């Protein structure tokens, strides 16, 4: 249990940190309408009390985490599973329990340990147990976990993730999903921290207002002015939270719209390189462009509104400060109390700023790790295939492996493409022979190549360097014993040797079996070889899908072999 358990979790440490910070924020929200004293009595003193054993502490902490008020709104379930809850509770107990029990006796919290806990935050009184003490304890724990578990570089994070055994055998995708979930969690955590800070500070302002309204030495006119300005601050803070939520929603919509726009641009570029693709993307392109422009303008408008609101909040806060000076002049009895509460407001502002900076750094680290992982996974297929074949081997063209009748039928069907790209009878004879080896339909193999490059063997994609009949990536070409530069200079006939080797190596590497290959099988090895033995290759919540949404032929949010089959048949002349 404890820290050792955390080391074995195949995720970045920030997900652990974000979990218990979210609990703390939830607790603050739950008790924001009551006094800090009630908070202490209701929760802290029941958890941190003399005689509490480790087992009792873990149980009490676990029960707190099961409370519906500590539910993570991201997924509607408790943000701790049982193991993590017990682990964190166990570590917190050990950090407090410095006076170890004698041999044979059970550890429990004593009066000195409770006093030390109550004194973690020096600003709330030496023996006054408050939520500030709990926050210091959690911050200390965060630093401990961070120092022992933080992985320094994206490369180390990726290697660590890949070294773990995955229940479904897909460590790479599990790692990407973990990173994606953590990014979403920390983004949500950032928002919640900001919203919570606004609420905390507003509660402090309300506390000052209550002091002012109850003080008989303060004039009625000054009370009315202060109450009015305080209400204005409350309204502005509420508006600020609403604007911030709208900014996030609009930004999310804009990101999605930009992805659609880029996907349509890719489709247009592919269509320009492939005369057989007669799809008219004009309407889709114009609509996507209008959507991006509209959302961009909305986002700019919201950001201007947010900045303007901030200026108003600053002005109102200064007005309240000015009134507080006048109030202190009229009533010296509440001057010290107002100063003390203002100090808490300043501390909360500093604390929130520090937390947001920390979360921003976490997000930056995770996004770098995500980018690194995607780049690694994109080249992983070629590396796997390389271990299953010798790149120097040459495809053996067996003339007995086809009939002239079969070749003539295929050549006739593809006559227009043959004329355009200079493909002769020998080319189609080799395609038929390769197809017989692979146990696939030669027209479907040609359909895959037509979809990828329009049967132009020298076609190159400027984005990533994909080249040739099946758009070999540089790493793939290297694994096959050649290069994209060499492939681009080959005739279509010669390049077919590498098409054959690619399929034979990957079919074996990804355990496709020795049975017949469908059009979906053929395309899946080109598109996402690591998942070629699945029916559903990717879905809308994954980066693979977002980068290739155009392959979702039926628009159901999944790219399946059936989709790839339809894609291939669309490009069979």
Per-residue pLDDT 10s for the chain (573 aa) are 222 222 222 333 334 444 444 444 444 444 333 333 334 445 677 778 888 888 888 888 777 666 544 333 333 333 334 445 677 778 888 888 888 777 777 888 888 888 888 887 766 555 677 767 777 777 777 666 656 545 568 888 888 777 766 555 556 667 777 777 677 777 777 887 888 888 889 999 999 999 999 999 999 999 999 999 999 999 999 998 899 889 988 987 887 777 777 767 766 766 665 555 566 677 878 888 899 899 999 999 999 999 999 999 999 999 999 999 999 999 988 999 999 999 999 988 888 898 888 888 888 888 888 878 777 765 554 444 444 344 444 555 566 667 888 899 999 999 988 998 999 999 999 999 999 989 999 999 999 999 888 899 998 876 667 899 999 988 788 888 889 889 999 999 999 999 999 998 888 877 788 889 999 999 999 988 878 888 888 887 776 777 788 888 888 888 999 999 999 998 886
The per-residue pLDDT for 81 is: 43
Start-to-end CA span in the chain (Å): 62
At which of 92, 125, 150 does a domain end? Answer: 150
Q: Can you tell me the distance from the alpha carbon of 252 to that of 68, in angstroms, rounded to the nearest whole number? A: 28
Name the nearest CA neighbour of 418 among 458, 448, 456.
456
Q: Can you tell me the distance from the alpha carbon of 108 to that of 279, in angstroms, rounded to the nearest whole number? A: 73
At which of 150, 166, 199 does a domain end? Answer: 150
At which of 118, 150, 182 does a domain end? Answer: 150
Question: What are the backbone dihedrals phi and psi of residue 75, each rounded to the nearest 5 degrees, phi first?
Answer: -130, 5
Domain tally, the chain:
2
Could you tell me if residue 82 is inside a domain? yes
Count of helix runs (H) and strand runs (E) in the chain: 23, 4
CATH of the domain at 516: 1.10.530
Structure tokens at 114: 């409770």
Could you tell me if residue 408 is inside a domain? yes
Could you tell me if residue 243 is inside a domain? no
What sign does the CA torsion over 112, 113, 118, 119 have? positive
Residue 200 near residue 32 (C-beta atoms within 8 A): yes
Could you tell me if residue 387 is inside a domain? no
Using the structure block, give the residue that is written with the tokens 């609403």.
Answer: 242
The domain of 76 spans: 1-150
Could you tell me if residue 435 is inside a domain? yes
CB atoms closer than 10 angstroms to residue 404: 10
* pTM for the full predicted model: 0.54
Q: Give the 3-state DSSP-derived string for 324-370, with helices as H, strands as E and coil as C.
A: HHHHHHHCHHHHHHHHHHHHHHHHHHHHHHHHHHHHHHHHHHHHHHH
Question: CA torsion 165→170→176→177, rounded to 10°?
Answer: -100
Burial class (CB in 10 A: 0-12, 13-18, 19+), 107: middle
Name the nearest CA neighbour of 364 among 541, 192, 186, 196.
186
Name the nearest CA neighbour of 21 among 180, 157, 137, 175.
137
Could you tell me if residue 189 is inside a domain? no
Residue 449 near residue 416 (C-beta atoms within 8 A): no
Structure tokens at 413: 């069907």
The per-residue pLDDT for 213 is: 95
């Amino acid at each position: 249990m404890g820290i050792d358990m955390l080391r074995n979790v195949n995720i970045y440490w920030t997900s652990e940190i974000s979990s218990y910070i979210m609990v703390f924020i939830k607790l603050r929200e739950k008790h924001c309408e009551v006094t800090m004293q009630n908070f202490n009595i209701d929760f802290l003193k029941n958890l941190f009390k003399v005689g509490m054993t480790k087992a009792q502490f873990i149980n009490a902490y676990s029960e707190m985490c099961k409370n519906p008020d500590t539910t993570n709104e991201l997924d509607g379930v408790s943000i701790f599973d049982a193991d993590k809850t017990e682990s964190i509770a166990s570590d917190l107990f050990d950090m407090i329990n410095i006076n170890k029990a004698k041999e044979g006796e059970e550890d429990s919290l004593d009066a000195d340990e409770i006093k030390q806990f109550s004194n973690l935050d020096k600003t709330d009184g030496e023996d006054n147990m408050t939520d500030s003490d709990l926050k210091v304890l959690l911050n200390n724990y965060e630093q401990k976990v961070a120092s022992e578990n933080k992985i320094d570089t994206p490369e180390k994070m990726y290697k660590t993730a890949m070294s773990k055994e995955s229940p479904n055998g897909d460590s790479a995708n599990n790692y990407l999903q973990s990173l994606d979930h953590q990014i979403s969690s920390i983004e949500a955590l950032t928002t919640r921290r900001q919203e919570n800070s606004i609420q905390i500070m507003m509660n402090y302002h309300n506390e000052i207002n209550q002091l002012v309204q109850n003080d008989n030495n303060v004039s009625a006119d000054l009370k009315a002015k202060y109450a009015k300005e305080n209400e204005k601050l409350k309204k502005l803070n509420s508006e600020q939270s609403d604007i911030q939520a709208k900014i996030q929603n609009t930004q999310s919509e804009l990101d999605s719209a930009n992805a659609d726009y880029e996907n349509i641009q890719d489709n247009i570029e592919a269509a320009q390189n492939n005369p057989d693709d007669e799809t008219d993307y004009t309407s889709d392109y114009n609509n996507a462009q209008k959507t991006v422009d509209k959302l961009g303008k909305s986002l700019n408008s919201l950001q201007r509104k947010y900045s303007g609101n901030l200026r108003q909040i600053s002005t109102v806060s200064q007005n309240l400060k000015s009134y507080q000076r006048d109030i202190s002049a009229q009533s010296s009895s509440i001057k010290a109390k107002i100063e003390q509460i203002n100090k808490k407001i300043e501390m909360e502002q500093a604390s929130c700023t520090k937390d947001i900076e920390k979360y921003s750094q976490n997000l930056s680290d995770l996004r770098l790790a995500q980018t690194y992982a995607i780049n690694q996974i994109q080249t992983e297929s070629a590396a796997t295939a390389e271990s299953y074949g010798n790149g120097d081997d040459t495809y053996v063209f067996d003339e007995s492996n086809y009939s002239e009748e079969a070749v003539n039928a295929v050549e006739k069907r593809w006559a227009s493409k043959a004329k355009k790209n200079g493909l002769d009878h020998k080319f189609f004879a080799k395609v038929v022979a390769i197809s017989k080896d692979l146990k696939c339909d030669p027209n479907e193999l040609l359909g895959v190549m037509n979809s990828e490059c329009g049967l132009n063997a020298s076609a190159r994609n400027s984005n990533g360097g994909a080249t040739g009949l099946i758009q070999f990536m540089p790493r793939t070409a290297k694994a096959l014993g050649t290069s994209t530069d060499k492939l681009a200079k080959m005739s279509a006939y010669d390049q077919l040797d590498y098409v054959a080797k690619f399929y034979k190596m990957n079919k074996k590497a990804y355990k496709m079996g020795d049975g017949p290959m469908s059009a979906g099988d053929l395309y899946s090895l080109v598109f996402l070889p690591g998942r070629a033995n699945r029916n559903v290759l990717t879905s809308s919540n994954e980066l693979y899908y977002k980068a290739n949404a155009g392959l979702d032929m039926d628009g159901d949010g999944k790219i399946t072999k059936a989709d790839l089959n339809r894609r291939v048949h669309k490009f069979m002349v």
